[in-house]
Structure 1
Amino acid sequence: MATQKLYAGAKLRETRTRLGLTQKAFAERLGVSLPYLNQMENNHRPVSSAVILALVQEFGFDVSELAVGDGERMVSDLREALADPVFKDGVPPVVDLRLIASNAPALARAFLTLHRSYLQASERLASLDEALGQSDVRPGASPWDEVRDFFHYCDNYIDAVDRAAERFAADRTADQSSKAALEALGVELLLTDDQKLIRHFDPAKRVLRLSSRTAASTQRFQTLLQIALLTQNDLIGATLDLARFQSDAARDIAKIGLANYFAGAAMMPYGRFLDAARETRHDLERLARHFGASLEQVCHRLSTLQRPGAKGV
């Protein structure tokens, strides 16, 4: 009877990471070459008995953690989950499932947890349908799904809002534009030490409160978002009318989304941002410094460069 080979790349990587060792240092402690360790960690070579012995002697490793049974149980669980009719393509070959179980056990466990949650949710929904006598009812798209689909089908670019933001910020930095706009609107800006506060506007007192603990880019963005809500109601409303959302909740969510869009576009006006992106070869840090934005804001703005005739990335 052939001896079963032991592949434990994920466990080796996990152990090395926990010990804070580089591959080179780990290989030296195990008495193997760096390429050999790399092959074991990627399951291109089985773990030899000499390596197992070194793990025990050098690190006090519990060899039971390398038990093959756990991997086989995971493969069995994956086969059972993937046999669910919701997966129309059928169960992948066992060899593929074994690779997943050995190379990405955390991902496999997450998938199994997700599938169990799906089954539990389906059971609860079926029970609710039965109680209501509505076994044929299927839930429609959630408000979040509606809004997500709206931006997706627009290629994440809203032309009218983008051009309005560009006009707003013409020939001025976003910071100057926001301060001037607040003054023109008779709005007082107050910075507070409340770390739980991001943005709060009191329409009666015309006071906008922002947290002084947030980054300057966040304060600027939140200011422009509030300006959008105060000055772009007609434009945003017309855009929402064209979208024809099925629920008021979706419309409300999309309104905030469009105000956020305006804020980002005003901080990084399309034409200037596109030119800078090309000039810097999309260097995120340079773009962030140039426009006084965060890396996250820059990344999101890059994803909106979809203007017909002047697309970016």
Structure 2
Amino acid sequence: MVQIQARGQTGKVMDAPSGHWVYRLLPPSLWPYAQLARWDRPIGWQLLLWPCLWSAAMVASAGAKAGDDVWTVLPSLWHMALFLVGAIAMRGAGCTLNDLADQDIDDKVARTRSRPLPSGQVSRKQAWLFLALQCLVGLAVVLQFNWFTVALSFASLVIVAAYPFMKRITDWPQLVLGMAFSWGALVAWSAQAGSLSLAPVLLYVGAIMWTIGYDTIYAHQDKEDDALVGVRSTARLFGEKTKLALMLLYGGALICFAWAFASAEVPMPALAGLLAAGVHLYRQIIVLDIDNPEQCLRLFRSNNIVGWLIFAGLVLGSLWVVIKPVI
């Protein structure tokens, strides 16, 4: 486990993973910044990236048919690289902002009190400067796109800035998180098409429901501490009805995704990936034990598989339609 100097004494970062490459490559002086940005926990930026990649694959495969050039039905590699850098930068910026807003709360929760800000490893001024640096990276990424996409990206900042405070005023902070984390579904489509249509909006709505679902599972890890310090969440709201809520959320997400595919006229084989993702999500619900924090974390992380399945369905489905006549 990563060692830090907490309030003058050596301690452990409770929720930092052991043996991550971040701690092998970076000097110890930069570890607190890596922890602020959660570079040692890539699942966050991976989940932020998936709506971008889904939308990029969907807009590329829209209307794909036999005889099309293979390269025209594949998502832009340049755009995907930009989305990757942007997802890492903006997820890190969001986590840094969240830690700044939640420093007093994190200090009262066992799992988070050893994080860089409450433990004194980083000052608030240093955290704000680090936040600004990450935002500059995000800005550099956004400026590579058309002006409609630039404006659309800036519009998301209102949601991103509001999210850290939602857990104090509503039982639905996961809804606001979903709105922020799913914004890439709109951005990736507009980056290629220069405008929006029904398909990316449906993908966005579905991604919001998916996000609420997986973050509800995640929030069950801290529900007891959250109750003590007054933090609100859908985990506390749903309680023993969490499985029913997940059925509705995940089911709604899959319906929206299928509707988006139909609206974009992507090849029918893409639904195979969506079906496989549905099976995986159903298994999450069936095996979920909301009183087992370790299992909740594992199931939360497994949503990266959902991302891969849907993306693979879109890409391979298009390739199958285009290449099959040749074979």
Give the TM-score category using the shorter length.
under 0.3
TM normalised by structure 1 equals: 0.21
Pick the structure with more helix per residue.
2
Higher gyration radius (CA): 1
TM normalised by structure 2 equals: 0.20
Ranked by relative contact order (alpha carbons within 8 Å, sequence separation 6 or more), the top structure is 2
